[in-house]
Amino acid sequence: MKGLTLALALATFLFWKPVIVEAQGLAPCGPYDIVSEKLAAEHQEVVDSRGLTANGWLMEIFATVDHASWTAVLVQPDKTTCLMAAGTMWDKDPIIAKPRGPSF
């Protein structure tokens, strides 16, 4: 059964479209180079933002130049990359924090 689940996850990844995908609770995963090339070739998405998670994994947001579509991935230290979510209308506007200082 575990082999079937992995086969389904791999098949889902190979034919993945920009939607949230889960196969029995497992996100489709693959080597970073293949995932990033697939996102670029099929969805015209490139790395737009990135940050480290508390457990040391890398979270990256791939997005189209016009931010019409986006995909969130988690990259493990061994470069295994898992698709976590995808959607439309990525907003990259900076959030302006209020300046800190003495309040009078």
pLDDT tens for residues 42-58?
999 999 999 999 989 99
Question: Which pLDDT value is given to residue 46?
Answer: 95
Report the distance separating Cα 95 and Cα 104, nearest Å: 24
Report the distance separating Cα 54 and Cα 69, nearest Å: 26
Contact of 74 with 61, CB cutoff 8 Å: no
- Contacts with 80 (C-beta within 8 Å, 6 or more apart), sequence order: 29, 30, 31, 32
**Residue predicted with more confidence, 74 or 19:** 74
Give the DSSP H/E element, type plus range, for residue 10.
helix 2-14
